[in-house]
């Protein structure tokens, strides 16, 4: 009986190979890294990983993207992204991700033409389809391929496949853009993104691997793995001092722990705080 991971990998290669050439929208996360790695090692396919750089990309994520692409041996290129100039993005309504991804895919289409690449792909997997993801609409409008969805890859499948092909980041925590830390209705600014990035970098340097700094003006709401709660309390002076260095008056620990998309939890009741 064929191994299901190997079977999915071959299905993915079979989907990508006829394209001939491909631009992968590559953030440095495990999903897009997996797509780039498979594309870059598929015979007969020319692949380029494109990473969009803007204030919403944490500096540590940019470093990771560079290191991972180098380990893969992929052609990797940075481009400047200007979603911060889009009013719909700055306003930060529930459709913020649509405006962000529209900027990304506009750039990708221009670069695909410039670099003579036949198609554009992202790292969306099947599990992403069940969350509030307006960026998926932007992908459909731009004609961007989601090969992991087409081949039925869940997040667990992606991690298994990444481990199988030797990606050392197969178990890397999810890393959404920094603007996702700001509540809907609170405007996105470079200053706020910088404060979040700085605080998260200090937390990771202190050994907290999975972390979100949720922005609430003077309050930083920390989402950590529940297993890290005792250590966070032991190091609360360090956490508070780091928060204050990045402009937060109060540092709180969210007892629900680390989870993706916690700002989406208000959407059913539309309890948006406008600032």
Q: Which residue has the higher pLDDT, 265 or 87?
A: 87
| pLDDT value at 232 more than 80 | yes
The pLDDT, as a whole number, for residue 166 is: 95
Give pLDDT, residue 263. 59
Which regions of the chain carry the CATH code 3.40.50.620? Answer: 4-164
Q: Under a CB-based contact definition with an 8 Å cutoff, are residues 178 and 199 in contact?
A: no
pLDDT of residue 271: 38
User: Does the pTM exceed 0.85?
Assistant: yes
Q: State yes or no: pLDDT of 106 exceeds 70.
A: yes
CATH architecture assigned to 4-164: 3-Layer(aba) Sandwich (3.40)
Inter-residue long-range contacts of 60-66, CB under 8 Å, 24+ positions, other chains counted:
60/200, 60/201, 60/204, 61/27, 61/28, 61/29, 61/175, 62/28, 64/28, 64/169, 64/172, 65/26, 65/27, 65/28, 66/28
Is residue 131 scored above 70 in pLDDT? no
Greater pLDDT, 123 or 133: 123
Predicted confidence (pLDDT) at residue 136 exceeds the cutoff of 50: yes
Distance between CA atoms of residues 107 and 259, nearest Å:
30
Q: What is the CATH number of domain 178-269?
A: 3.30.70
Domain with CATH 3.30.70 in the chain: 178-269
Predicted confidence (pLDDT) at residue 36 exceeds the cutoff of 90? yes
**Which of residues 132 and 89 earns the better pLDDT score?**
89
Q: 1-15, 17-31, 125-139: lowest mean pLDDT where? A: 125-139
Residue 13 predicted with pLDDT over 60:
yes
pLDDT higher than threshold 80 for residue 2 = no
């Amino acid at each position: 009986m064929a191994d299901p991971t190997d079977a999915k990998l071959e299905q993915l290669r079979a989907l990508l190979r006829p394209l001939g050439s491909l631009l992968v929208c590559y953030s440095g996360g495990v999903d897009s890294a997996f797509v780039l790695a498979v594309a870059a090692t598929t015979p007969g396919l020319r692949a380029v990983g494109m990473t969009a750089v803007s204030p919403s990309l944490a500096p540590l994520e940019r470093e990771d993207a560079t290191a991972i692409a180098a380990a893969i041996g992929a052609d990797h290129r940075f481009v400047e992204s200007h979603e911060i100039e889009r009013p719909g993005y700055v306003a930060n309504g529930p459709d913020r991700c649509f405006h962000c991804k529209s900027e990304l895919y506009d750039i990708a289409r221009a670069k695909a033409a410039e670099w003579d690449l036949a198609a554009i792909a992202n790292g969306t997997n099947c599990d992403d389809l069940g969350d509030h993801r307006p960026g998926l609409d932007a992908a459909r409008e731009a004609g961007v391929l989601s090969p992991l969805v087409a081949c039925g890859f869940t997040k667990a499948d992606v991690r298994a496949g990444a481990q199988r092909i030797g990606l050392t980041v197969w178990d890397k925590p999810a890393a959404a853009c920094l603007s996702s830390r700001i509540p809907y209705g609170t405007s996105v600014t470079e200053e706020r993104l910088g404060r979040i990035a700085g605080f998260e970098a200090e937390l990771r340097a202190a050994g907290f691997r999975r972390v979100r700094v949720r922005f609430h003006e003077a309050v930083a709401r920390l989402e950590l793995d529940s297993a890290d709660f005792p250590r966070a309390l032991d190091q609360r002076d360090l956490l508070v001092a780091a928060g204050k260095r990045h402009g937060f008056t109060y540092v709180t620990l969210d007892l629900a722990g680390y989870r993706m998309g916690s700002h989406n939890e208000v959407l059913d009741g539309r309890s948006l705080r406008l600032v």
